[in-house]
Amino acid sequence: MMRSSTVLGQMIARVADDEEYRRWSAQVERAGHCVRPVRLSGSAMTVNRETGEIEATYSSAGEPGGVLLVACKDRRESVCPPCAARYRADAWHVFAAGVRHGNDADHDADGPRGDDGGAAGLGDEGGHGAVGNPLVLATFTAPSFGRVHAAREGRVCRVARGGNRTCEHGRPRGCPSRHDAKDAMVGAPLCEDCADLAGQVLWNAHAGELWRRTVIYAYRALAALAPAVGGQALTVRAVRGLLRLSYVKVAEFQKRGVVHLHVLARLDGVNPDDPDQVASAPAWAGVDLLTAALMHAAQHVSVPLPVVDGHTAATARWGTQLDIRPVPASRIDGARVAGYLAKYATKTVSDSVNGLPASRPRAEEREDVGQGRAVPAHVAALTAVVRKLARLATCRTLRLARHIHTLGFRGHVTSKSRRYSTTFTALRQARRAWRLANGGRERDPWAQQQTATPDDGGDAGTVVVGDWRIAGIGYRTLGDRVLAEVLGREHRQAREAWRMGLIE
């Protein structure tokens, strides 16, 4: 194919040869219309385990341009919308599977789903939801680190109550504006000198540990509260033998640059003969007990903070706004909650806080984080505080220099307890099995490489041996990328039309 310097020229060159274009667009579709696929060159063969016979070979040499396109599989909406949609659908299944209290991955093996994560995957037993497994959706918030500008749906931002209209720095304590949610001011402190920026960064850095301790406290609270429910006194150890707190949590960045945790928490019973089973909780352990235990834990737990100049709080604690609501055992509610969490799972800090990169910058680019004209003043101030704290001996173990782009937050966006539900890996395997079973040739060497180990379960007694190298990331030309986006859009519209046709 001739290289052209204009995007239009590149597109024309791409569609010039009917047959090559057909094969290229088929590749793009197989890569899920990813906007920055990995281009691989190399070959793979399927070898019979028993006989050592080569049953099939595949080489990228036969593909357009001699490369195979493989989806980037990025979680982040801002990086790759089609791959994020796929991730969101997977996340939905992981969350929804836990809502159903089944960790039966087999049940989910209904193949690749649409871009919407469709409620169709919930299974058809319907209605049984979390019978015997009380389930709540809880939002754990951060405390206040000073007054910030807020969008209040047309109402006034901040009213300064009491005698003092200005702070000790001479700045107004109120703000008469009616901010739009998109206003760059939203989340910025009314007075940067009053705001406890160091406290906020340290809080972010300890949010993960605060949650870990919250789980421990919740077990203690369960032990303390259980007698009133079950009529028997229980030790923490005994409670752990009877109850298990399973959860999935998603971190969400607020505009002010601090994380909140959305947690789907479930109370399971424990089957001593089969610890991996998600057993029903005992009858006395209902949703009220779970709510009370989480509430109690949230109010009492704390994490000691390193001593830092100009910052006084000795511990990190949850904010007073704690929202815990039961998730009713219905399909609709379960689907809604799973969708709500899945939406956050594809967000990055940069989606909420202007001026921050979507991913961890390379070491040599760290100095640029929070700098430049597009960065709001309070975000620049916060990144400066992270840098300052990173240099302190008392904060060394926090490794803050690596977490400037997340304003100190060090955890994963999405995480779950071990036995919450089906895993992303299980879903990928299910999807792959589905593709194979449906006659689609498995051509995802990325997956093949990962699973092509001799002791891998393998399909039908074969093992895939691949030899691949990365030729590049993203489409080779901007024209290709534009075409891939058009194809993706057409694909989604066709799906939509098909679905509508089904409904009518």
Q: Which residues bind Zn ion (CB under 5 A)?
A: 34, 71-72, 80, 83, 149, 157, 167, 169, 175, 177, 191, 193-194
Task: Choose between 183 and 209: whose C-beta lies nearer to Zn ion.
Answer: 183
Please, which residue, 167 or 224, has the CB nearer to Zn ion?
167
DSSP assignment, residue 437?
A: H
Output the smallest distance, CB 85 to Zn ion, in A.
Answer: 10
Please name every residue paired with 47 in a beta bridge, in sequence order, or none if there are none. 54, 463
Minimum distance from CB of 381 to Zn ion (Å)?
13
Cβ closer to Zn ion: 125 or 193?
193
C-beta of 20 vs 183, nearer to Zn ion: 183
Q: How many helices (H) and strands (E) does the chain have?
A: 12, 11
Q: How far apart are CA 43 and CA 414, in angstroms?
A: 35
Q: Phi and psi for 2 in degrees, rounded to 5?
A: -75, 140
Asked whether 6 and 430 are in contact (CB, 8 A), the reply is no
Listed in sequence order, the residues at least 6 apart from 44 whose beta carbon sits closer than 8 Å to its beta carbon are 57, 58, 445, 448, 464, 465, 466, 467, 468
Q: What three-state secondary structure class fits 240?
A: helix
CB of 488 to Zn ion, least distance (A): 10
Q: How far apart are CA 156 and CA 464, in angstroms?
A: 63
Output the smallest distance, CB 189 to Zn ion, in A.
9
Helix (H, G, I), strand (E, B) or coil at 315: strand
What letters, b where the CB count within 10 A reaches 16 and e where it falls short, cover 259-273?
bbbbbbbbbbbbeee
Residue 229 to residue 239: CA distance in whole angstroms: 13
SS3 416: strand
Closer to Zn ion by CB, 167 or 487: give it: 167
Taking the complex as a whole, how short is the minimal distance between the CB of residue 287 and Zn ion, in angstroms?
Answer: 39
- In the complex with Zn ion, the residue whose CB is nearer, 196 or 268, is 196
> How far apart are CB 378 and Zn ion at their closest, in Å?
12
Residue 80 vs 210, nearer CB to Zn ion: 80
Residue 77 CB, nearest distance to Zn ion (Å)? 11
Which of 132, 110, 95 has its CA nearest to residue 333? 95
